[in-house]
Amino acid sequence: MPFPSDLEVSLPPPWVEHPNPEGLREFWASQEGTTGVLQVSQLPTEDLRFIFEQDDLGTFAAALGSRLGSGEQNWGKPGISRHGSCKLGRFGAAVFVGGQFPAMVLWITASEKAALLWTWLGPDPAAEELKQAFQVVLEAKHA
């Protein structure tokens, strides 16, 4: 999935954007990337209408994350999910437990222009960096 080229993201210090060879936009909460990684990619244009019309993007994010990965590289089970508005339009978020990393969150943001998939993988579900990641997603906007 390609990354959205017109996406503006405000990163708190000491966050950095890190090159990703898979074509995703990737943001590290520290220079080393050891405190968590936030990635974003654009979902297929042909799925935009279906995603945008979902009543509860949190439930949708939970269902999508449940199907990601297999074996040791899995997302575990969805726990808390929520949905609401953000600068990109609407968002849905699902927190996962029992997966490959201690902190795993999946967001979907959707507008009539684009649907984006955001993921957070980190070592601590109570970390300040995870709270910052939520803020980065909610504050992101199209140029």
Q: Where in the sequence is the domain holding 70, given as residue range(s)? A: 7-142
Tokens representing residue 87 in the block: 């600068």
Tokens representing residue 7 in the block: 């996406």
- Read off the pLDDT of residues 68-118 as tens digits, 9 standing for 90 and up: 877 677 899 999 999 999 999 999 999 999 999 999 999 999 998 899 999
Kind and range of the H or E run holding 110: strand 103-110
Residue 1 placed within a domain: no
Query: How many domains are there within the chain?
Result: 1
Contact 104, 120 (CB under 8 A): yes
The pLDDT of residue 2: 55
Distance CA 132, CA 29 (A): 8
Residue 73 placed within a domain: yes
Backbone angles phi, psi at 135, to 5 degrees: -65, -40
Largest alpha-carbon pair distance within the chain?
A: 39
**Strand, helix or coil at 72?**
coil
Residue 40 placed within a domain: yes
Question: Band of the pLDDT at 3, cuts 50, 70, 90?
Answer: low
CA angle 18, 37, 96 (to 5 degrees): 155
Distance CA 133, CA 26 (A): 12
pTM of the model: 0.93
Residue 25 placed within a domain: yes
The pLDDT of residue 21: 83
Residue 16 placed within a domain: yes
Q: Give the CATH number of the domain where residue 50 resides.
A: 3.40.1000
- Read off the pLDDT of residues 22-81 as tens digits, 9 standing for 90 and up: 878 999 999 888 899 999 999 999 999 999 999 999 999 999 999 887 767 789 999 999
Residue 62 placed within a domain: yes
Tokens 């609401």 — which residue? 84
